Structure 1
Amino acid sequence: MKPLEGRQLGWLTIALSLATFMQVLDGTIANVALPTIAGNLGASTTQGTWVITSFGVANAISIPITGWLAKRIGEVRLFLWSTALFVLASWLCGISSSLGMLIFFRIIQGLVAGPMMPLAQSLLLNNYPPLKRNMALALWSMTVIVAPIFGPILGGYISDNYHWGWIFFINIPIGLLVVLAVFKLLHNRETKIEIRKIDFIGLMLLVLGVGSLQLMLDQGKELDWFNSPLIIGLTICSIITLIALVIWELTDDNPVIDLSLFKSRNFTIATLCVCLAFVFYYGSMVLIPQLLQSVVGFNATWAGLAAAPIGLIPIILAPIIGKLGTKIDMRILVTFSFIVYAATFLWRALTFETGMGFATTAWPQFFQGFAIACFFMPLTTIMYSGLSSDKIAAASSLSGFMRTMAGSIGASIVANMWSSNEATHHTILVESISPYNPLSNEIFAKMMSLGMSYEQVAAYWAKEITNQSLIMAANDIFTIAAAAFIALIVLVWFAKPPFTPGGNSTSQTSNANH
C-alpha cells in the first residue's frame, strides 16, 4: 500500500507518538504517588507497591504476544482496541475506592497496554516512505525518552495538589485523541489477517514464566531475596517454564512468540545491545532519584527536576539524526552514544558526594542526552534492517519484551548492589571511628566542646557514615556502568550493513542473516 504523505503523515506521527508517551508515562507516574495512594485507600506503603507490580507483570506478559495477535486481528484494529481499553482501564483505576479494586484494574491496564508500543513502531514504519523511516524512528524515540522524565514530576505534583486519581485521568483525553486520529487515518489501511491456531501451551508457559520472573524481581529485595522460600519458588518456576517455553516455541508450528527472528544477525545484536544497555540505564533512572532523596535531601519534585535535563538534547537532535540517518553508519552513532554514556557515568562516580547541589546532578543528565539521542533510533534501525514489513510487529513486541525485562532485572541488580556495597563501605568506615584512632577522638572532642553531647555527636557521625556509604556504593555502580558501556562498543560492530528499517528485499534479508 502507498505510504502516507504530507499532513496525514504528520498527524499519524503525532498520534502514535502520543500513544507511546501515554503508556511509558503510566509506567512511572504512579511511583512517587504511592504513599498518597496507599494512605487514601487505607493500605500500607508496602501493600501499595502492588499498584506498580501488577501493571508491570501484566504488561510484561502481554508484550510478547503482540505479533501473534496482530496477525490474527490486524495491526490497526488491535492498536485501536488496545488504546480504547487502556483509556477505559485508566478511568476505572482513577475511580477505584479500594486497593484491591485499583490493583485489579491496573492488571487490566497493563494487559491491554502491551501491544500499544510495538504496534506504534510497526504502524509508523509501514506507513512512512522507506527513505523517511529513520526520521519516523527518531521522532518516535523522543517520546520513549521524555515520558519517564515527566512521570515522576507529574506524579509528585498531582499527588501534592490534586486527588491521586488524576494520575490516571490524564490518560483519557490523550487516549481518545489517539483513537480518533488513528481510526481516521488508518481505518482503510488494515494489515493482512491470518487465522492461526491458538498456541495455548505456549501462552500458558509465557504467563507462568514471565509472571513468576517479574514477581521475583519486584518482591526480591523486600523479602530478602533467596532467604525467602517464596522467592526461591518463583525463581525455580520461572527458570523451568521459560526453558520449556523456548523449547516449545522452537518446535511448534504456530508459536505465540516468533523466535525465528533471532536468525537475523542484526536483530540479535541490536536487541542484545539495547537489553544490556538498559540494565544500567534503567537501573540508574531508579537509583539516582532515591539517592537524591535519601542522602542529599531533595524532595520528589526536585529529584524529578534534576533528572529532567536528560530530555533536552534528544528533543533537539532527534529530527537532525533522523534526517541524516541514511547518510551515517548507524554503528558510528551507537558507538558515540556508548562513549558518552560511559563518560557521564564516570563523571557521576567522580563528582557525586553527600553535599552536592542541583547542578552536580543536572549537568551529567544534560550531557547524557547526547547519548540517548544516538541510542534508540540507530539501534532500532539496525534491529529492523533486513526484516520484511510483516515481521516488524513481531520484532518490535519481542524486543520490547526483552527490553522491559532487562529494565526490571537492571533495577533489581542495581538495588541489590547498592544495598550490599553500602553495607561493605559502612563496615569499613565504622572501623575507622574508634577509641584507638587519635583523629576520630580529636574530632569527637572538638564537637563536644561546641556544646554537643556524646550521644549527639555519635548520632551525627552515624548519619554521616550511612550517607557516605550510600554515595560510595552508588559511585561503585556508576563506575561499573561506565566499563560496561565501553565493552558494548565491540558488540555493536558485529552488526552488518545495509541498515534500512523495515526493508523487505531479499538481499537485505540475506545480509542480515549471514
Structure 2
Amino acid sequence: MSAAPAPLPPLEPGARRLATVALSLATFMNVLDTTIANVSIPNIAGDLGVSPGQGTWVITSFGVANAIAVPLTGWLSQRFGQVRLFVTSVVLFVIASLLCGLASSLEMLIAARVLQGLVAGPMIPLSQSLLLQAYPREKAGMALAMWSMTTLVAPVMGPILGGWLSDNLSWPWIFYINIPVGLGAAWMSWQLLKERESATRKLPIDKIGLLLLVVWVGALQIMLDKGKELDWFQSGEIIALAVVAFVGFALFVVWELTDAHPVVDLTLFARPNFLFGVIALAAGYGVFFGNVVVMPLWLQQYMGYTATWAGLVTAPIGFLALLLSPVIGKILPRTDPRRIATVAFMVFALVSFMRAGYSTDITPANIIIPQIIQGIAMACFFIPLVSITLSGLPMERIPSASGVSNFVRITFGAFGASLMTTLWERRAALHHEHLAAQVSVYNPIAGDALNGLQSQGFDLARSLGVLERQVTVQAFSLAANDVFWLSGCLFLALLATIWMTRPTHGRPAAASGDAAH
C-alpha cells in the first residue's frame, strides 16, 4: 500500500481569512438554493400554471440530483484534483442558475434544477475539506465553525431573499443572484488555492454502482413526491416505485461492498462514529428541513402572509446561531461534542413543542420567539456532529467521508420535505372532515356564524363558502401542529444516536496515525 501524501501546510492568516470567505461564499450560494425557493413556490407555481404541490418539485428535484452527485466527490477529486473540481463546480453552478432563471415552464425549470443539483454535488464536501486543510489542526474546530456559519445563514437568508425578490422583482431573480456570488467565489478560490492542488490519479468509474445509485434514489424520491397525488400504496405506480427503490438499494449495497473501486465508500459506515454521527446529522436535518418547507407554505397559503413577511418572521433563527457558532468552535476542542449535540436536539424539540401550540390567531411575535430560540440549536447542531462524523479519519479520506455524509444528509432533507408536506396534507384532510361535519344549522356556533354573515348581506351560498374557507384554514393549522408535535418527538428520539458514538475530545479530523475513535 502506497504511503499517504504529506499534508499541506496551513495557509498564512491573511490568506486563510480570504480563503474562508471564498469557500464560504460558494457554500452559502449552494445551501441558499435549498431554501430560497421555499417561499417562492406559490409565485413560481402561479406563473408557470401549476399547483403549489407540483411546485415543490422545484425543491426536491434539486435535492435529489444533489444527493446523487455528492458521493461522487471522492472519486472526482482523485481524478481531477480538489481545487480544480471545486472551482469547476462553482462555475457550472452559475451557468445552471442562469438556466433556472430563464425557464419558461415547470419542466424546463425542473430540468435546470436537476442540472444545478448535479454540478453542485462536490461543492459542500470540498469546501469542508479545503477549509480544514487551510487551518492548523488545533484550529480545526474554528474552521468548522466558520464553515457551519454559512450553512446556518444561508437557510435563514433564503426565505428572506426569496420572498423579497418574488414580491418586488420576479421569481427568476432568486437564481440570478447566484451569478455574481458564484463568479466571485470561483475567482477568489482559484487565486488562493491553485498552488495547493491535490494529487490526482486515474481511477475506473464504478458505472454499475452509479447507475444503481441513480435508480434507487430517483425511484424513492419520485415515490415520495407522487405518493400524495396517487393515494400512496393504493396506486400500482407507487408500489412499482417502492419495489424498484428497495431492490435497487439492496443491489447497490451489495455491489459497493464488493467492487474494487466503489462510487461510494460504504466501509466508512463500519466506524461507529461515522455511522451514528451520520444518522444523527441526516435524520435531524431531515426533520428540520421538513419543518422549514411546511412553515412558509402554511403562513402564505392559510395565514395570509406575503412571501416577504413569511421570510422575515422565520429569519430570526440566524441571530443566536451566528453569535454562538464561533463560541462553539472555540470550546469544541475542550468539550465532548456529544454534549453540545445533545443541547441542539433538546432545543429543537422544545421549539417544535412550542410551535405545536400555534392557532389561527397567532401573532408574528409568537412565531419569531421560537425561531430565535432555535438559533441555539442550529449553532450546536452542525459543528459537533461533523466533528464526531469525521473524527479519526486521515485527511486524504475527508473528501470521500464528507461526500458520503453530505449525501445522506441531503437525501434525508429531500425526503423530509416530501414526508412532512404529505403528513401535513393528510392530517389537514382528516381535520377538515371532522370540522366540516360540525358545520350545520343545527350547530349553535355554526348557526350564529351563518346568521352573522347573512346579516352582513351574504346569501346562504356565500356564507357557507366563507365558513368553508375558515374550516380549511383551521384544518391546515391543526395539521401543522401535528407536524410540529411529531417533529419534537423525533428530535428527542434521535438523542440516543448521539450517545452511541464514542468520545472524540472535540477533534474534527485526525492524522493518519490516530486511533479510529
Letter of the 2:226 partner, please give it. Answer: Q
Quick one: distance in 2 between partners of 1:169 and 1:260? Answer: 40
TM-score by length of 2: 0.92
Structure 2 residue 382 is matched with structure 1 residue 356: no
Quick one: distance in 1 between partners of 2:460 and 2:107? Answer: 49
SS of 1:254's equivalent?
coil
Map Cα deviations across residues 220-276 of structure 1 (whole Å, 9 max, x no partner). Answer: 333443344433332221211111001100111110100010111111111111122
2:3 aligns to what?
Answer: none
SS of 2:202's equivalent?
coil
Quick one: distance in 2 between partners of 1:397 and 1:252? Answer: 19
Quick one: distance in 1 between partners of 2:458 and 2:98? Answer: 55
Quick one: distance in 1 between partners of 2:41 and 2:348? Answer: 30
Quick one: distance in 2 between partners of 1:286 and 1:99? Answer: 19
Map Cα deviations across residues 78-99 of structure 1 (whole Å, 9 max, x no partner). Answer: 1111112212222343345665
Which 10-residue stretch deviates more, 291-300 or 428-437?
Answer: 428-437
Map Cα deviations across residues 9-50 of structure 1 (whole Å, 9 max, x no partner). Answer: 111111111111101112332344455556666777777655
Q: Which residue, out of 106, 109, 114, partners 2:121?
A: 114
Structure 2 residue 429 is matched with structure 1 residue 423: yes
Structure 1 residue 174 displacement after superposition: 1.3
Quick one: distance in 2 between partners of 1:460 and 1:96? Answer: 37
Once the two structures are aligned, what percentage of the paired residues are identical?
48
Structure 2 residue 414 is matched with structure 1 residue 408: yes
Q: How does 1:226-305 map to 2 (within 5 A)?
A: 226-305=233-312
Quick one: distance in 2 between partners of 1:444 and 1:86? Answer: 55
Q: Which residue, out of 464, 467, 474, partners 1:461?
A: 467
SS of 1:187's equivalent?
helix
Q: Which residue, out of 129, 135, 139, partners 1:132?
A: 139
Q: Which residue, out of 54, 69, 72, partners 1:62?
A: 69
User: RMSD over aligned Cα, in angstroms?
Assistant: 2.4
Quick one: distance in 2 between partners of 1:107 and 1:9? Answer: 33
Give the conservation status (yes or no) of the 8 Å contact 1:55–1:106: yes
Structure 1 residue 52 displacement after superposition: 4.1
Q: How does 1:84-233 map to 2 (within 5 A)?
A: 84-96=91-103, 101-233=108-240
Q: Which runs of 5+ in 1 are unaligned?
A: none
Give the conservation status (yes or no) of the 8 Å contact 1:12–1:182: yes
Give the conservation status (yes or no) of the 8 Å contact 1:57–1:215: no
2:35 aligns to what?
Answer: 28
Structure 2 residue 304 is matched with structure 1 residue 308: no
- Seen in structure 2, the aligned counterparts of structure 1 residues 124 and 413 have a Cα distance that, compared at 3 Å, is same
1:390 aligns to what?
Answer: 396
Structure 1 residue 427 displacement after superposition: 2.7
SS of 1:27's equivalent?
helix
Structure 1 residue 164 displacement after superposition: 4.1
SS of 1:2's equivalent?
coil
Which 10-residue stretch deviates more, 299-308 or 412-421?
Answer: 412-421
Q: Which residue, out of 476, 495, 500, partners 1:489?
A: 495
Letter of the 1:371 partner, please give it. Answer: A
Letter of the 2:331 partner, please give it. Answer: L
Structure 1 residue 363 displacement after superposition: 0.8
Quick one: distance in 1 between partners of 2:408 and 2:377? Answer: 21
Give the conservation status (yes or no) of the 8 Å contact 1:126–1:502: no
- Seen in structure 2, the aligned counterparts of structure 1 residues 439 and 31 have a Cα distance that, compared at 3 Å, is closer
Letter of the 2:224 partner, please give it. Answer: L
Q: How does 1:38-57 map to 2 (within 5 A)?
A: 51-57=58-64
TM-score by length of 1: 0.92
Give the conservation status (yes or no) of the 8 Å contact 1:221–1:412: no
- Seen in structure 2, the aligned counterparts of structure 1 residues 430 and 277 have a Cα distance that, compared at 3 Å, is same
1:473 aligns to what?
Answer: 479
Structure 1 residue 117 displacement after superposition: 0.6
Give the conservation status (yes or no) of the 8 Å contact 2:166–2:307: no
- Seen in structure 2, the aligned counterparts of structure 1 residues 161 and 271 have a Cα distance that, compared at 3 Å, is same
Letter of the 2:214 partner, please give it. Answer: V
Letter of the 1:360 partner, please give it. Answer: N
Quick one: distance in 2 between partners of 1:180 and 1:237? Answer: 43
Which 10-residue stretch deviates more, 73-82 or 28-37?
Answer: 28-37
Structure 1 residue 426 displacement after superposition: 2.4
Quick one: distance in 2 between partners of 1:395 and 1:7? Answer: 28
SS of 1:30's equivalent?
coil
Give the conservation status (yes or no) of the 8 Å contact 2:163–2:309: no
Quick one: distance in 2 between partners of 1:358 and 1:12? Answer: 39
- Seen in structure 2, the aligned counterparts of structure 1 residues 229 and 507 have a Cα distance that, compared at 3 Å, is same
Quick one: distance in 2 between partners of 1:221 and 1:179? Answer: 40
Which 10-residue stretch deviates more, 282-291 or 40-49?
Answer: 40-49
Quick one: distance in 2 between partners of 1:377 and 1:175? Answer: 24
Structure 1 residue 7 displacement after superposition: 0.7
Give the conservation status (yes or no) of the 8 Å contact 2:78–2:199: yes
Count, aligned residues: 509
Quick one: distance in 2 between partners of 1:142 and 1:411? Answer: 22
Q: Which runs of 5+ in 2 are unaligned?
A: 1-7
Give the conservation status (yes or no) of the 8 Å contact 2:313–2:367: yes
Letter of the 1:75 partner, please give it. Answer: Q
1:378 aligns to what?
Answer: 384
Which 10-residue stretch deviates more, 135-144 or 465-474?
Answer: 465-474
Structure 1 residue 450 displacement after superposition: 6.2
Give the conservation status (yes or no) of the 8 Å contact 1:53–1:215: no
- Seen in structure 2, the aligned counterparts of structure 1 residues 460 and 253 have a Cα distance that, compared at 3 Å, is same
Map Cα deviations across residues 313-356 of structure 1 (whole Å, 9 max, x no partner). Answer: 11111111111211221111111111111111111112x11011
Give the conservation status (yes or no) of the 8 Å contact 2:40–2:307: no
Give the conservation status (yes or no) of the 8 Å contact 2:39–2:311: no
Structure 1 residue 391 displacement after superposition: 1.2
SS of 2:11's equivalent?
coil
- Seen in structure 2, the aligned counterparts of structure 1 residues 95 and 466 have a Cα distance that, compared at 3 Å, is closer
